[in-house]
Amino acid sequence: MAGALAPLAVFLGGVAWLAWHGAPDERGFWPVLLAALTAGLLLCRDRTRYAETMVAGMAQPVVMLMILAWLLAGALSSLLSATGFVDALAWSARALDLRGGLYAGAAFLACALVSTSTGTSFGTLLICGPLLYPAGGGAGAEPAVLLGAILGGATFGDSISPISDTTIASAGTQAADIGGTVRARLQYVLPAGALALLAAVIFGGAETATPGVLADAAGSARGLPMLLVPAFVVALLLARRHLVEALLLGLLAAVVLAVPLGLLRPGQLLQVAPGSVAASSVLIDGLERGVGVSVFTLLLVGLVAVIEASGALARASARSGLPATVAGAEARIVAMLTVAVVLTTHSVVAILAVGPYVASLGRQRGISAYRRANLLDVTACTWPFLLPFFLPTILASSASVPGGAAGMPRVSPLAAGMHNAYSWALVLMLVVAVVTGYGRREGAVGDYEAGAK
């Protein structure tokens, strides 16, 4: 067990050191991950199998999908920014008088709507983050609180949408119907959402707005037609079209709309200066934004793959010896998934890994399938959206990069997670639910097999 978990210890130790020193962008995690992978290689019994397992983990279709989506989303964000889209959002915020905390609250609601509709927190961060965050400068929003609100809104949909991967995985492993599971989950997520919205409104106002973003309110409205592009992308996602398809068509729509309107010059799409071998382009700039998180993802999933192959996850989960009461069993469910999430750094993988044991334990203690599924899902939507070495916080930090042009600072993964009031509210709801029994009677039945009986 010690040898199997040693690479994880190296990784977490490096992340803690980075967080203590200000947590740089995701490129700072590259050497830490390389050190963790090397530690595992030195300790493993079969180095050839270790290398093959690592590469197989990196080559998973879902990993390639995430990387391609981040690259395309970066290109779309860069393209929209070049058309004055951020100025248009800031102008709209001023026209609606959404300033400070009101803007942060509106950002939370907008991201919650998109993430609930599409079922993807990653997609919401990719599309909404680079657009809503820079505009917060002129609206006088506190940077870290604003990004935390954007991250919290993205988390909201992941925790309640019936098409979210965590919803499907948690309900499926507990043999519970998705509709009933989502209805039962409202009593956890709605209070948490209300607390997060209140926190954004109260704490989301900066002392002064970022200067220069809204210097010319009339001129900044020129980019308003570009609002059609993200709306088009979201509409495609709502129609259950593939994320990559939606992003590629979004790029095409942005070019087709911006060039005739004079918001974008053709030379901005691709240009090679005389005597130079390097090309410049707003698209190239956007693609480069996704390089850091893409390399981070490849190295991280390689580390997760070898830890899973070692069997460390199953052994660590089996050692959570908590009391055998109903409250103790529920606390064990939360603790097991927390361990699994930290070990795998992937919510769905963690749910699938501990789901069968949770189902068996819950049935023995009379815990309904809805309750088990919701304990799993709510737990899965806390730590990955709070701690700085998970993809959501890394991605949220990356989404703050375009804010530099609008005078908004980059927010570190640690700061983004610590200001995610929604996930902190979910932690509070978990404690209340387990300790007091709140929501425990979510239907005496809920299992497909129990319903059949």
- 150 vs 172: CA distance, rounded Å: 29
Residue 38: CB partners within 8 Å, gap ≥ 6?
A: none
Q: Does the residue 252 lie in any domain? A: yes
Quote the DSSP letter at residue 46. Answer: -
Please state which of the ranges 155-164, 276-285, 443-452 shows the lowest mean pLDDT. Answer: 443-452
pLDDT by residue (tens digit) across 321-375?
545 688 888 998 998 899 888 876 778 777 877 887 888 888 888 899 999 999 9
CA nearest neighbour of 161 among 112, 108, 105, 234 = 112
Domain count, the chain: 1
Report the amino acid identity of residue 36.
A
Q: Has residue 30 been placed in a domain?
A: no
Whether residue 452 lies inside any domain: the answer is: no
pLDDT in the model for residue 220: 63
Asked whether residue 314 is assigned to any structural domain, the reply reads yes
Q: Could you tell me the pLDDT band of residue 115, with boundaries at 50, 70 and 90? A: confident
Give the model's confidence band at 188: pLDDT under 50 very low, under 70 low, under 90 confident, else very high: very high
Predicted confidence at residue 315, as pLDDT, reads 64
Stretch 20-24: mean pLDDT: 64
Is residue 60 a part of any domain in this protein? yes
DSSP assignment of 89-131, as one string?
A: HHHHHHHTT--THHHHHHHHHHHHHHHHHH--HHHHHHHHHHH
**Residue 73 confidence class, pLDDT cut points 50, 70, 90:** confident
Average pLDDT score over residue span 285-293 = 80
Identify the residue whose tokens are 């889209």: 85
pLDDT at 352: 74
Nearest-angstrom CA–CA distance, 81 and 208: 23
Q: How many other CB atoms are there within 10 angstroms of residue 338's CB atom? A: 19
Non-local (6+) Cβ contacts of 95 within 8 A are none
Find, among 83, 31, 391, 85, the residue nearest to 262 by Cα.
83
Residue 157 or 211, more confident: 157
Secondary structure (3-state) at 382 = coil
pLDDT in the model for residue 118:
67
Q: Does 349 map to a domain?
A: yes
Average pLDDT of the residues of the chain: 82
Q: How far is Cα 315 from Cα 321, in angstroms, rounded to an integer?
A: 12
Position 212 confidence tier, pLDDT thresholds 50, 70, 90? very low
pLDDT tens for residues 121-132? 877 887 788 888
Rounded to an integer, what distance in angstroms lies between the CA atom of residue 179 and that of residue 374? 12
CA distances from 144 to 130, 133, 223, 396 (A): 14, 10, 26, 11
Q: What is the largest CA-CA distance in the chain?
A: 78
The whole-number pLDDT of residue 316 equals 59
Residue 248 falls within a domain, yes or no? Answer: yes
The answer to whether 420 and 412 have CB atoms below 8 angstroms apart is no
Q: Which of 155, 21, 148, 128 is nearest to 415 (CA)?
A: 148
Determine the Cα–Cα distance for residues 185 and 254; give it in Å rounded to an integer: 38
| pLDDT, tens digit, 9 for 90 and up, residues 290-304 | 787 788 878 888 887
Rounded-to-integer distance, Cα 21 and Cα 440, Å: 42
Q: Is the pTM for the entire model greater than 0.85?
A: no
Question: What is the reported pLDDT for 370?
Answer: 93
pLDDT value for 444: 42
> Is residue 65 one of the residues assigned to a domain?
yes
Beta bridge partners of 279: 272
pLDDT tens digits, one per residue of 360-419: 888 888 899 999 999 999 999 999 999 987 888 988 998 888 887 777 888 988 899 999
Q: By C-alpha distance, which of 191, 192, 193, 170 is closest to 181?
A: 170
User: Rounded to an integer, what distance in angstroms lies between the CA atom of residue 380 and that of residue 407?
Assistant: 34
Number of Cβ atoms within 10 Å of the Cβ of 183: 14
Residues of the domain holding 323: 47-207+219-264+281-439
- Kindly state the percentage of the chain with pLDDT values over 90: 26
